[in-house]
Structure 1
């Protein structure tokens, strides 16, 4: 039974962790597990994004100064009637009297005066509260019937969260029999400014918050800021006539208690240093939001939960490819980003609780790290078990020599470190081994990327160091060459890896070199194994093969021809031809000598190419003089004068192979004598040009045709001097021998040609001669 592939196991592990964290994030968003943290961001944003209040809202505050001026609370209701009359004379839009008038005054006349003032105004809004009796039965606290005539009733239900902070308001509330709008909504109703986006009647099927009291249509209050943002005037100042009527003209007027310890105060998101906000100001700030069309759109949990889960999924997807430090930064960034985005969205009136996502993001890193650690430990254990079968790394496995007190992961990590060190040593040994090989070697992985190469491979590909090849695709490295067995190198590599057998192909480099390239898979048992590619330079072998073919052609033609002529002469003599015996022998001798000269020239070239160079100190001028002496007899037969151009007694020492250089100079003189006219002159000069010795042989022959100059030193070809025809049949190995000697000494042969006037052949030898 084979074990599960590591990649499949990691994918399954990732999906399991992702699913759990997504469910956790969704649950935290759906059930508001991080409610307190979310509200902290909500309150901070409310305190940050402030706006200017509306111009047509004013609060008549029953403040400490009014209590000192008017007297102890509660005041006579006639006082409130007087204030209402003065405000009404200015023509307000609506008036909110935030007083609970559910009980009669001790003086009935006081109630009558106040009720009359309310009826005359016709724009007064009074609150309705609710209370529980001793046995848990609830009832409404409505104003007295006389106060209800000509007034609008509104609920006085302040909705507080579990932390005692007022963040919400219910636009509708009341008993099962009665529904009352919020005081701010009631004031807009009185003024004829009902918001178009709010229905005029609350739904009747909303769930109850108590057996008798219902709340409907919760709305987040977009607070203006800390208390005092709404325009305030003192109640006592109104009574004294110190407030201009313009203060109330066409405005919403709220009359309520702001004095400390007298009325209800509430904690709000914008409260500072524990300072409460009076109930009348809470109503005024909601009224301002309704007037200006300000709303806080709370994203529903049904949208927040899946969105947060998807963001956590994206974070975990990033974890698969990120380094631990990058993953930690991403996790913290997503958590902080969620808070900052939530805070920033409040500027546009959008509330997104961020800490459900932040919780998922912050838990993602430790949970995924834990699972990765578990997987890493499992993989380390499996790898160490696999290494147990390798004798070279068996000593690296955890054992008795582990550090005392080291934990599980530390022991495994130490073992892997030791095994890695041994593998690095093996890799270095392999690199050294590859470096000693004469052929170019490339090691590629399954993606055809070079992982190792030797210096010979660098020279072949035109790079300076093996490190320049690492990481490149083999097809890119060998792009100048095309294999003969496949259109591309990639196709040939795939064929070698899939077929699990060695393949070879020929390839020609643009520089003229020819290679035999062999490749084989590194591991036959592994489908995704790499390959080893070995390229052998067979240029010399190809040239040798070409030379062999040329030699065979030479033997078949040039040596065969005189032999065939000999046979023809014998046959002619036998049938009684007219040629005398002396003439026959003369022709036989000429053809035999010609054959012998061809064989001798061929042997000279082969010796020059294969014979080891034996340089020794000598005098080039003495060597040239000896060659002139040797060729004097041959020159006299054509009445040719040989001369050396150097002062008497001069020497030119150098290191050279005397036999080869002597033979090369003899060949030059022989060619010069052969092609010089009768009575001509041949001069030899030995000079030095910087770091070169130059031996020049100048004749007065016909020169060399320009069309034949490029073929002077080609093997088995001869240039016929003075002949304008194509290359003549036969061979001329003398010049090939001279060129070979020059190259073996590290030099060259140059030709200075003047057709019709002669040619000058120069043998250039380095001042320090060496074998090429």
Structure 2
């Protein structure tokens, strides 16, 4: 693993560990509490009559008189409640002192005994003046009530988010008032044991309500107060007057508590962070939550640490493959997603996942990742500058610190830009050089993929330059088979091993031939393909010519030598007959050489176009062949109106020789007394010059061989080539093609043959004065 890779790995592990420690140590507890409270307040409030509050409000103080009231007043309220038969009653008053009138205490004790389901709170002493830190009700009152603790269990920020099911000293644990109410009402929660579990040192509260050591809270739960409804509240004075309907109180839990302004303590909660909530309402809501099991389950710190650390590790792994913009979006998405998931879990599933340790770690990931990426980029730029400075062919590259700017990264990016500008200039020069080369050239990288190709190479590949880049040589030269290996990649490997130029020939299905040269260097490969198709055709023609000379010219010469030898040894062949044979063979050899020279002249002679008249040209050829035609009693006819002209631009010499050759063949293969017709017409954009004979026609099997070199069709002998060559037709075809036209043969076996020369008007350039090809 590289140094950069090891650094990234340790950075990832470090951030994951820091995230886990933050979760376990609850470093972000204030922020987590804030989102917890916001989610709690997001639910709409509703009313509930499961628990009824009898409020000692301002109206009650005005009606009954100055506080504190005599115990007989509370006794009267309990007697009124007894008529309605509530399920259980909490008298949320610290009645630690007896009434000055013992009769008042007796009334209250009798009322509680008659009701039989009364809960009284026991407070926490502010000073450790007793063996137990309890401020309990007077002995006469507490004998007929169930005691409950009055510890609201606020968090460190003063807000009440939890409820201690049990609280007190190690030896004496009292239940929560809501738990005591449920117990008296016969609806004790199944998940709560009937007796307090033994406290552990972790349950000790240092800095609780009384600032005492030895105070324990056990069974700490988080009631989901947002799911509970606002309790029905009636005035204490209305109860005394009998104005409260009994149906509101029957079979209900009743909490009697102080709500008047300036009296009692209002406790800030997640639902009421500023105005606070009265103790009576808090107990009423906790009672509803415990009765229905509406408790918030908090994700254990260890699980939170593992989950958050895993998310941080996954995010950092993903950021290695993202652009800076997408990495920032990923961090923002994970952070906002964590908040949204935490919110949704609490609102819809009463599950609390503290998210801000993960959010803080995710927000820290981006600057740390950016720092790491920037450091790696700076190192890469430094290494690249050193590499470019040593690159041959480049001018001096400005080194960091040579310019006036003090920006570290700006120095290096400026130097890289300068080096890239030089490389682009060198690349443009190379591309221009390749463009002017006549051969197809490819430049390949060390992996064998094309990085540059000139126009000739793209034309050979039959693809635009944009799509040629990135291909392999086997793809670029598909259809061209190398002579020295089955695949081009093998030749590249061979050239790379030899470190010397390697040449081979390649051909395709169309008969094309290319001479391909390969050169390999440490930076890549250069491949050059030269078109040698014409050269190979010329070599083939030369081979055919040598075969012709060796056969058709050698045969008559050998016959001449044989006649001379026969005459020397005294053969009985007459001298005149011998001379006749020698003359015929010499003339045959001379005719063959003349035909060969005409073909070579037609192929190599510069084409000179002049303004002329095709009819005059035809008349001249007819006049030249009249004596040969008369020898066989053949009539030559020109099929055009007298005095007409057909102007055109053509090579007078070559086209004249072509027409003479056509007439010579027509006369040769026409019977005595026949006629040969020469015609001229204008059809579409072409001049059509035709010569028609009345001979036997051309065998169908020989039509495909008419214009092949060194072959001749022997009229009257179907499907059999005569000895010798037929260079006259090759000459005719060559001249016609050089004028941009073609030869068309109309064959009628037994009737005759017609050769038509189609000469395009535009190609002949009638409006020009001269042209040379």
Q: CA deviation at 1:714?
A: 2.6
Q: What SS does the aligned partner of 1:268 have?
A: coil
Q: CA deviation at 1:500?
A: 5.0
Instruction: Kindly indicate whether residue 91 of structure 2 is the aligned counterpart of residue 91 of structure 1.
Output: no
Q: Taking structure 1 as reference, are residues 721 and 41 closer, same or farther at Cα in structure 2, changes over 3 Å only? A: farther
Q: CA deviation at 1:338?
A: 1.9
Instruction: Kindly indicate whether residue 248 of structure 2 is the aligned counterpart of residue 247 of structure 1.
Output: yes
| Residue in structure 2 matched with residue 197 of structure 1 by the alignment | 191
Contact 2:658 2:735 in 1 (8 A): yes
Q: CA deviation at 1:472?
A: 4.4
Instruction: Kindly indicate whether residue 428 of structure 2 is the aligned counterpart of residue 428 of structure 1.
Output: yes
Q: What SS does the aligned partner of 1:269 have?
A: coil
TM-score by length of 2: 0.89
| Residue in structure 2 matched with residue 48 of structure 1 by the alignment | 42
Q: Taking structure 1 as reference, are residues 659 and 292 closer, same or farther at Cα in structure 2, changes over 3 Å only? A: farther
- Between the aligned partners of 2:742 and 2:541, the Cα distance in structure 1 is 21
Q: Taking structure 1 as reference, are residues 457 and 132 closer, same or farther at Cα in structure 2, changes over 3 Å only? A: same
- Between the aligned partners of 2:277 and 2:139, the Cα distance in structure 1 is 30
Alignment coverage as a number of residue pairs: 757
Q: Taking structure 1 as reference, are residues 399 and 307 closer, same or farther at Cα in structure 2, changes over 3 Å only? A: closer
Q: CA deviation at 1:43?
A: 1.5
| Residue in structure 1 matched with residue 676 of structure 2 by the alignment | 682
Structure 2 counterparts to residues 10-409 of structure 1, below 5 A: 10-50=4-44, 56-133=50-127, 139-204=133-198, 206=200, 207=202, 208-210=204-206, 211-224=213-226, 229-271=230-272, 274-346=274-346, 347-390=348-391, 392-398=393-399, 402=403, 404-409=404-409
Q: What SS does the aligned partner of 2:354 have?
A: coil
| Residue in structure 1 matched with residue 767 of structure 2 by the alignment | none
| Residue in structure 2 matched with residue 437 of structure 1 by the alignment | 437
- Between the aligned partners of 2:420 and 2:83, the Cα distance in structure 1 is 95
Q: Taking structure 1 as reference, are residues 89 and 379 closer, same or farther at Cα in structure 2, changes over 3 Å only? A: same
Q: CA deviation at 1:169?
A: 2.0
Contact 1:744 1:771 in 2 (8 A): no
- Between the aligned partners of 2:220 and 2:452, the Cα distance in structure 1 is 71
Q: Taking structure 1 as reference, are residues 415 and 77 closer, same or farther at Cα in structure 2, changes over 3 Å only? A: same
Q: Taking structure 1 as reference, are residues 178 and 536 closer, same or farther at Cα in structure 2, changes over 3 Å only? A: farther
Q: CA deviation at 1:727?
A: 5.0
| Residue in structure 1 matched with residue 466 of structure 2 by the alignment | 467
Contact 1:100 1:126 in 2 (8 A): yes
TM-score by length of 1: 0.89
- Between the aligned partners of 1:111 and 1:429, the Cα distance in structure 2 is 112
- Between the aligned partners of 1:601 and 1:723, the Cα distance in structure 2 is 22
Q: Taking structure 1 as reference, are residues 651 and 245 closer, same or farther at Cα in structure 2, changes over 3 Å only? A: same
Q: What SS does the aligned partner of 1:615 have?
A: strand
Q: Taking structure 1 as reference, are residues 400 and 319 closer, same or farther at Cα in structure 2, changes over 3 Å only? A: closer
Contact 1:115 1:147 in 2 (8 A): yes
| Residue in structure 1 matched with residue 642 of structure 2 by the alignment | 648
- Between the aligned partners of 1:136 and 1:643, the Cα distance in structure 2 is 154
Q: Taking structure 1 as reference, are residues 41 and 506 closer, same or farther at Cα in structure 2, changes over 3 Å only? A: farther
Q: Taking structure 1 as reference, are residues 75 and 390 closer, same or farther at Cα in structure 2, changes over 3 Å only? A: same
Contact 1:694 1:765 in 2 (8 A): yes
Structure 2 counterparts to residues 534-553 of structure 1, below 5 A: 534-553=528-547
Q: Higher mean Cα deviation, 133-142 or 176-185? A: 133-142
Q: Taking structure 1 as reference, are residues 507 and 250 closer, same or farther at Cα in structure 2, changes over 3 Å only? A: farther
Q: Taking structure 1 as reference, are residues 152 and 669 closer, same or farther at Cα in structure 2, changes over 3 Å only? A: farther
List runs of 5+ in structure 1 lacking aligned partners.
1-6
Q: Higher mean Cα deviation, 426-435 or 137-146? A: 137-146
CA RMSD of aligned residues (A): 3.1
Contact 2:199 2:216 in 1 (8 A): no
| Residue in structure 1 matched with residue 699 of structure 2 by the alignment | 705
Contact 1:746 1:771 in 2 (8 A): no
| Residue in structure 2 matched with residue 3 of structure 1 by the alignment | none
- Between the aligned partners of 1:8 and 1:727, the Cα distance in structure 2 is 79
Contact 1:681 1:699 in 2 (8 A): yes
Q: CA deviation at 1:213?
A: 1.1
| Residue in structure 2 matched with residue 743 of structure 1 by the alignment | 737
Q: Taking structure 1 as reference, are residues 232 and 459 closer, same or farther at Cα in structure 2, changes over 3 Å only? A: same
- Between the aligned partners of 2:483 and 2:47, the Cα distance in structure 1 is 86
| Residue in structure 1 matched with residue 620 of structure 2 by the alignment | 626
Contact 1:224 1:285 in 2 (8 A): no
Cα deviation 1:502-532 (Å, max 9, x = unaligned): 55555444554343444443x42xxxx5433
| Residue in structure 1 matched with residue 209 of structure 2 by the alignment | none
- Between the aligned partners of 2:695 and 2:382, the Cα distance in structure 1 is 88
Contact 1:52 1:224 in 2 (8 A): no
List runs of 5+ in structure 2 lacking aligned partners.
207-212, 765-770
Q: CA deviation at 1:427?
A: 0.8
Q: Higher mean Cα deviation, 199-208 or 742-751? A: 199-208
